[in-house]
């Protein structure tokens, strides 16, 4: 029988695998929409950005959430996490000025089963 720490480690590995699979699927979804994937799982001092995609005019920082229910996916992007994403995006833009576009937005993409639910411009950098 496994002890508690082994069960937690196994659960973390399953969640990690599920998250990577969701991010791959969402990257493909954006590519099909005409976006180029600039980065995936981009780590910064402020935290990790799941995806950074762009087309000619728009740079998009994408937070991907895979859940069993749509409501829990929506609720999982709390104000604290939004602030972290905005800070990470600022670091990336400072280090990659050539990624700048006329428009920048933050999308949240919810993956529930096989269904992709994109929320374009889900929040703004200046939101509280």
Q: Find the CATH number of the domain harbouring 45.
A: 3.40.1350.10
* CA geometry: angle 82, 7, 12, nearest 5 deg: 25
* pLDDT (0 to 100) of residue 53: 98
Number of domains in the chain: 1
Is 77 part of any domain? yes
* pLDDT (0 to 100) of residue 19: 81
Is 128 part of any domain? no
Tokens of 25: 């699927």
- CA 23 remoteness from chain centre: 7
Is 64 part of any domain? yes
Question: Domain range holding 90?
Answer: 4-123
Residue 124 has pLDDT above 60, yes or no: yes
Task: State the DSSP H helix or E strand holding residue 115, giving kind and residue range, or none if neither.
Answer: strand 115-123
* 56-70 pLDDT, tens digit each: 999 999 999 988 776
């Amino acid at each position: 029988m496994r002890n508690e720490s082994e069960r937690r480690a196994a659960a973390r590995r399953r969640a990690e695998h599920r998250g990577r699979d969701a991010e791959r699927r969402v990257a493909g979804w954006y590519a099909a929409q005409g976006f180029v994937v600039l980065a995936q799982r981009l780590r910064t001092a402020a935290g990790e950005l799941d995806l950074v995609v762009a087309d000619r005019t728009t740079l998009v920082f994408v937070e991907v959430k895979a859940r069993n229910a749509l409501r829990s996916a929506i609720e999982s992007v709390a104000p604290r996490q939004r602030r972290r994403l905005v800070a990470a995006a600022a670091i990336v833009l400072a280090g990659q000025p050539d990624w700048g576009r006329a428009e920048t937005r933050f999308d949240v993409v919810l993956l529930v089963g096989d269904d992709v639910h994109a929320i374009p411009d889900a929040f703004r950098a200046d939101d509280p």
